[in-house]
Amino acid sequence: MEIAELISPQTVFVDVKASSKKQVLQELARRAAVATGCSERDILTVLIERERLGTTGVGKGIAIPHGKLKSLKKIHGFFARLDSSVDFDAMDDMPVDLVFLLLAPDDGGADHLKALARVSRTLRDTNRCERLRGTENADALFAVLTEDSVTA
């Protein structure tokens, strides 16, 4: 599964304004509701329930909130670069400024895990993350996220 299968230029957002983890999740739920046709409230509920299990702040300024919804037919991805870092209760206690939201159908078990693994591998690339932080528009963010990674 490739990142380009999960996101589109319309689901990549630059300089998202939020001052807390909850505001980040609310803003992404709002935007995801528009793109998926799902209820903003249902999306936010799923994301908050997932955060209660443990933070999705994976470290190095990155969070990968995710959840499953009955009303979805396919996996949807959303990427946001925050205009300023927020405390996300990350594993390394570092604030988060790069957020990749994944929403999957209830029955999308293996595909959901493959998508999470792909996003994690993509954002583990320090050089790519530096470029994401220095990119000024959503189209450029999309290009950086979807380019083939170079393996040494």
Residue positions annotated with a catalytic role: 66
C-alpha pair distances (Å), 28 with each of 79, 88, 150, 151: 9, 14, 30, 31
In eight-state DSSP terms, residue 70 is: T
C-alpha pair distances (Å), 91 with each of 1, 44, 138: 26, 22, 27
* CA neighbor of 103 nearest in space, from 131, 71, 132: 71
Residues 18, 27: Cα–Cα separation, whole Å: 8
Q: Rounded to the nearest 5°, which phi and psi values hold at 13? A: -125, 135
